[in-house]
Structure 1
Amino acid sequence: MTDLPQTDAASKEADITSTVHHAETSDQDLGFETAADNLPNNYYRSIYFCGTMVACGASFGSGVGGFALAAAILTVINADIGPSAYLDWVALSYTLTVSIGLLLVGRLSDLFGRRYFFISGAALGLIGCIVCATAQSISTLIGGTTLIGLGAAAQISVVFVTAELVPVRHRFLANGFVYIWATPFTGMGPSISYAFVTYYGSWRPCYYLMIGVNALALACWVLFYFPPNFHMKHPGQRVLGYIKRFDIVGLVLFVGGLLTFLMGLSWGGTLHPWKSASVIVTIVVGAVALIAFGLWETYANLSEPLVPVRMLKNFEWFSIVMVLSISVTVYYAFSILWPQMVFGLYETDLIRGGLLCCLVGAGTNLGQLSAGSLLGRRLGNQRWQFVTGTVLGGAFLGGVACVSPTNLTTTAVLITLGCWALGYTDSVGLAMAGIVIDDQRDIGTAVGLAGSIRNTISTIGTAVYTVILSNRLAQTIPAEVPPALVSAGLPSSSVADFITAYASGSAAALAAVPGINSTILEAGTFAYKHASADAYRTVFLSTIAFSGVAIIFAFFTADGTKRMTRDVAATLHQRSNVRLVGEGRNEAMYENKTETV
């Protein structure tokens, strides 16, 4: 067959290394189905493979865009079909369902076959977007977003689908293809959302767009994706037998524990104060359940565990997961904080501000594409790529602590470069999480568990950054704004009214402050921005601690150079009952004597 593209002399050298490595491990069962040279000549040009790749790309874009577009304009949506005290649940419903679903999709599809999990994910995403597009209340929007989140758990998991279908050496390239589909949403999401609001006068086109992308993904999954099914994975076994042996206790502990823990973290400082019983109890109960889950998986004699313990004992894999988890924390946290900085310190125009808000997502997406465009493999020794990425990302983001209301260019360049470095690290980490495992039949579990851990740590990181910001704002604003207002001539009795009105963003509320005039407003605005910048400065300094932990783990990650073989973990079939059983470049044999795909 014609394999995916080779590029240069380094590729030939890697082929030799890969051949040697494969020979050394030929006596071990690594879970690969075949080698690239044993596939039919037209395999990677077939409509089944090409259609599956389109399904993966459209699904990934849908999983990201289904929430990213709305997240930037939730206040606009609330003003239209609200107001509602439960607006925060729009974000919570997505975060919680994705975090829980990633591991479940990975593990269950490893055991029972992937086709219907990914068809269901696209269907749920499509239905969720239709519900949100027609929503007339925030409650309905929350319901629709819950469906989107459930679907996104499968849609974001496509990184292990593309990984298992191509030779190991081309997994970075396959990831790069998937990230291209996410570019409009992670890279340009806020700008697209604000453009819809500005030029169409509505937020609903955000969901109309996602309905189309989800529909494309669903059609491609149904028509072209025929991976190994349950009977191909487990010849002679019965589905009911696997269901009976499955780790139901572990499933309950994991889902209940993670759901409760993340809910407590997400409530803190938003729906409830951090010291409230609701927050403390949910966090503690969730943490205890997760500890119990870990003990159960380790010491119970399980035939089909939710998480194979051998995976957690692989310290190289664990280190990779920790690095990519801490790296992506920046994207999730600063996707929230950076827009606040943009409109709080620099911009009032929605279009220009929307473009600036894209820098975090665009930088991250550019880093992911850089790693996926063969650089992740061609640069070699992924361990040093991890170290370099975390050092650069930490340095650039720590440098954003120079933030002030007058240095937009410097701040924007630093945050973009920092997100690029950590986006690169995240992409390499996702690929390597499925490469360094001992058995490729666990690739869904490995990448799914990595995703669940990543989302959990990201939620923790976001909570930490948010708490730091709110605590610092509670100090800097009272210390800096009142003296400036009083010096400019505002009566001290009106200071509290000014701070409340300014925080609301309402021009009418500011104009109603007793004693206000243009000079006082200018002085108060200047002081408020500088006080806010002082608070943001502390947040960016705190990123150094996270980066330090990531750098330490980076030294214990794996060098995947010798693993860049031409082995393929799974192949597509023309129908569910057609399976490749023979070998040979031009003499593939199939059950039922059916033609190859």
Structure 2
Amino acid sequence: MESEKTAHIHAEEHEPTTSHDESHMFSGDEVLHGFQTDLNDLPVGYYRSSFFLGTMFAIGIGLMSAVGGFGLAAPALGLINSEIGPDPNINWVSFVYTLTLSISLLLVGRTSDLFGRRWFLIGGTVFALIGSVVSAVAQNVPTLIGGIALIGLGAGAQQSFSFVSNELVPMKYRYITNGWIYLWCFPTGGFGAAISKAFILYTKPGWRSCFYLLIALNLISGLLYTIFYHPPTFYMKHRTRTKTQQMKIFDYVGAALFVAGLILFEIGFLWGGGVYPWSSARVLCTLLIGAATLVVFVLWELYAPIKEPLVPMKLFKNVQWVAACVLLGLGASVYYAMAIIWPQMVAVLFTDDGGASMRAGWLNTIPGFTIVFGQALSGALTVAIGSARYQCMVVLVLGGVFLAANAYSTSSTLVGSSCLMAFASFFIGWNEALCLTNAGVEVEDQQEIGTAVGMAGSLRSAISTVAASVYVVVLTNRLGQTVPAEVPPAIVSAGLPAGSAAAFLGGLTTEDFSTVPGLTPDILSVGLAAYKLASAHAYKTVFLVSIAFSGIAVIITAWAPNVEDKMTSEVATILYAKEGQIVGTSKVAKDNEV
């Protein structure tokens, strides 16, 4: 009867199927249940095989590219806007990345859990490659925004490194594995600002060289994935179901509600206080409709008669998993916010050339480099120290204190401000790596790790988008108050005619003071000093606002997970050779296709 049923499926769907009997998946000692095994039961040479090593290099290079999609472009927004703009929507080059990333992370995680990961990882790399090409040739800001949107969609697959790599290694080595992969972030995340500045100063294409680099990285990563990454296929995951059958029961309504709700909600936050006033109909309607759509999404997932929900709501019954996700997002918000705000501080407070020099490029690396340093070192520190919950508490307190202390920054505090930013970013990076790993470890069914970590990633990106927009809006609003209030009195007292004050304020934006009547070098010096002081007062407010986010994070650590009891030698998924062999052995897997 089974063979007749199989033949019928072949005839109807033209797709292969496999045996019901899980024990026939492998020969000999390689019998694995639910694609889970133990480190001691893996074939000799598995972790030294070209397939495993090639996969890890593909993940690392892909992550390098994904981080570069944001880390290389964000510091150069002013120059990019002057070359292909000006466009008031230039900040959307940064915002659209986090927006599309928050959408794609969950979709990649869930769909790859259901259909198999291989082609989603390869497809994500293709999206990022196309986005890099579009961005490299963009002649206006809207086109660049479109290219970055594609990069962000592809980054959803590339930044899925945590579950893609972690399911391949024993639970007890997941922290170390993530720490190793974070090392790949140093070039584009840690030194991204300096590399971006070097491209601008020393290469003919200028900022476009950033995207040429991303094109090369995506090509290499995609090639490595194609050659070496062979995880369980759809037919190995569903031995009694075809792809067509799976597609028929996929939660399309849930996916549409999630995407639409998240986009509208985040756009509302990005518009508020910047593009439009918070009280405007555009902002309020977008926010409320987005929030309502997300509520409908949750109700749909809870009560609709669907066989495969996009997000199994049982995840949210795990309070420790939820805490890890929220802490992950609050930590990541520091990176995304400071990637925009710190370069502005460097340009205004700590340099006299508007941040045009290579020196500014190196100063701009401080938050990115130290966050990556904290992420990379976190793996070894977490294993050595243990007590993950108390680690979260300590590092978030320290990170929050150092970040808030930057409120004292002025144009004469370069060394102190840089040190405070470095320490704050290091501890925030430590927390982020710790919580990202915990989001995967806390999953009861490791066959849903993609869904759980993808949802964690989407929450991370959504929370960080909202938080980053709050930081930017606070800075914009405060600059709109402090600069007009403090600069005109200073320059008028120095001898500038009162009627020229407006022209001087305009020169601060264009960096051209040639048309300001009555301006002398001495008055210009006084005016620039007043502008730096007014800007410092605005930045002070931003860092004081960070106390609210840090305080919330510290409170939530009371529910952060302790996962020491789960640090076992269990392995969730294994790789296969092209010939259908389990990597590291000559024995061939039975009754499946690879």
User: Does the Cα contact within 8 Å between 1:229 and 1:576 map onto a contact in 2?
Assistant: no
User: Does the Cα contact within 8 Å between 1:40 and 1:588 map onto a contact in 2?
Assistant: no
Residue of structure 2 in register with 1:26 after alignment: none
- Name the SS of the counterpart of 1:165 in structure 2: coil
Q: 1:30 to 1:331 in 2, by over 3 A?
A: farther
Answering whether residue 549 of structure 2 is matched by residue 546 of structure 1, we say yes
Answering whether residue 365 of structure 2 is matched by residue 358 of structure 1, we say yes
Distance 1:85 1:531 in 2: 23
Residue of structure 2 in register with 1:520 after alignment: 523
Letter in 1 for 2:319: F
Q: 1:116 aligns with which of 97, 101, 119?
A: 119
- Name the SS of the counterpart of 2:73 in structure 1: helix
User: Does the Cα contact within 8 Å between 2:273 and 2:477 map onto a contact in 1?
Assistant: no
Answering whether residue 198 of structure 2 is matched by residue 195 of structure 1, we say yes
User: Does the Cα contact within 8 Å between 2:71 and 2:189 map onto a contact in 1?
Assistant: yes
Residue of structure 1 in register with 2:334 after alignment: 330
Query: What do residues 112-150 of structure 1 show as CA deviations (whole Å, max 9, x unaligned)?
Result: 100000010111212221222233333432332222122
Answering whether residue 162 of structure 2 is matched by residue 159 of structure 1, we say yes
Distance 2:264 2:575 in 1: 38
Q: 1:57 aligns with which of 56, 60, 64?
A: 60
Q: 1:281 aligns with which of 281, 285, 289?
A: 285
User: Does the Cα contact within 8 Å between 1:370 and 1:424 map onto a contact in 2?
Assistant: yes
- Name the SS of the counterpart of 2:559 in structure 1: coil
Answering whether residue 216 of structure 2 is matched by residue 212 of structure 1, we say yes
User: Does the Cα contact within 8 Å between 1:187 and 1:363 map onto a contact in 2?
Assistant: yes
User: Does the Cα contact within 8 Å between 1:257 and 1:285 map onto a contact in 2?
Assistant: yes
Q: 2:475 aligns with which of 450, 456, 469?
A: 469
Q: How does 1:385-424 map to 2 (within 5 A)?
A: 385-424=391-430
Measured on the aligned residues, the alpha-carbon RMSD in Å equals 2.1
Letter in 2 for 1:358: T
- Name the SS of the counterpart of 2:111 in structure 1: helix
Answering whether residue 171 of structure 2 is matched by residue 178 of structure 1, we say no
- Name the SS of the counterpart of 1:136 in structure 2: coil
Distance 1:225 1:516 in 2: 65
Instruction: Please report the TM-score for the alignment, with normalisation by the length of structure 1.
Output: 0.90
Residue of structure 1 in register with 2:489 after alignment: 483
How far has the Cα of 1:593 moved from its partner? 10
How far has the Cα of 1:76 moved from its partner? 2.1
- Name the SS of the counterpart of 1:104 in structure 2: helix
Distance 1:109 1:286 in 2: 26
Q: 1:544 to 1:93 in 2, by over 3 A?
A: closer
Q: 2:261 aligns with which of 257, 263, 268?
A: 257
Query: What do residues 131-183 of structure 1 show as CA deviations (whole Å, max 9, x unaligned)?
Result: 22233333432332222122111111122111000001111111122211111
Distance 2:510 2:585 in 1: 70
Residue of structure 2 in register with 1:230 after alignment: 234
Answering whether residue 340 of structure 2 is matched by residue 342 of structure 1, we say no
Q: How many residues in Structure 1 have an aligned counterpart in Structure 2?
A: 558
Residue of structure 1 in register with 2:319 after alignment: 315
Distance 1:525 1:140 in 2: 35
How far has the Cα of 1:383 moved from its partner? 0.5
User: Does the Cα contact within 8 Å between 2:194 and 2:364 map onto a contact in 1?
Assistant: yes
- Name the SS of the counterpart of 1:302 in structure 2: coil
Q: 1:30 to 1:377 in 2, by over 3 A?
A: farther
User: Does the Cα contact within 8 Å between 1:227 and 1:576 map onto a contact in 2?
Assistant: no
Instruction: Please report the TM-score for the alignment, with normalisation by the length of structure 2.
Output: 0.90
Answering whether residue 39 of structure 2 is matched by residue 36 of structure 1, we say yes
- Name the SS of the counterpart of 1:555 in structure 2: helix
Letter in 1 for 2:402: F
Residue of structure 1 in register with 2:25 after alignment: none
- Name the SS of the counterpart of 1:513 in structure 2: coil
How far has the Cα of 1:470 moved from its partner? 2.3
Query: What do residues 231-276 of structure 1 show as CA deviations (whole Å, max 9, x unaligned)?
Result: 1112121222222222222111101100111122222334333332
How far has the Cα of 1:511 moved from its partner? 2.8
Q: Which ranges in structure 2 are unaligned for 5 or more consecutive residues? A: 1-31
Q: Structure 1 residues 30-39 or 399-408, which shifts more?
A: 30-39
Answering whether residue 374 of structure 2 is matched by residue 367 of structure 1, we say yes
- Name the SS of the counterpart of 2:44 in structure 1: coil
Q: How does 1:427-438 map to 2 (within 5 A)?
A: 427-438=433-444
User: Does the Cα contact within 8 Å between 1:377 and 1:561 map onto a contact in 2?
Assistant: no
Residue of structure 1 in register with 2:48 after alignment: 45
Q: 2:298 aligns with which of 291, 294, 298?
A: 294
Q: 2:578 aligns with which of 571, 575, 580?
A: 575
Answering whether residue 305 of structure 2 is matched by residue 272 of structure 1, we say no
Q: 1:138 aligns with which of 114, 137, 141?
A: 141
Q: Which ranges in structure 1 are unaligned for 5 or more consecutive residues? A: 1-28, 581-585
Residue of structure 2 in register with 1:536 after alignment: 539
Distance 2:139 2:304 in 1: 48
How far has the Cα of 1:64 moved from its partner? 1.1
Distance 1:402 1:204 in 2: 36
Q: 1:548 to 1:89 in 2, by over 3 A?
A: closer
How far has the Cα of 1:325 moved from its partner? 0.9
Q: 1:563 to 1:93 in 2, by over 3 A?
A: same
Distance 2:93 2:546 in 1: 27
Distance 1:134 1:169 in 2: 45
Distance 2:243 2:164 in 1: 22
Distance 1:407 1:381 in 2: 36
Distance 2:439 2:366 in 1: 27
Letter in 1 for 2:530: A
- Name the SS of the counterpart of 2:156 in structure 1: helix
Query: What do residues 296-350 of structure 1 show as CA deviations (whole Å, max 9, x unaligned)?
Result: 2223343111111110110000011111111111111111111111111111242
**Identical-residue share of aligned pairs (%):** 45
User: Does the Cα contact within 8 Å between 1:359 and 1:412 map onto a contact in 2?
Assistant: yes
Letter in 2 for 1:323: L
User: Does the Cα contact within 8 Å between 2:388 and 2:434 map onto a contact in 1?
Assistant: yes
Q: 1:547 to 1:86 in 2, by over 3 A?
A: closer
User: Does the Cα contact within 8 Å between 1:183 and 1:365 map onto a contact in 2?
Assistant: yes
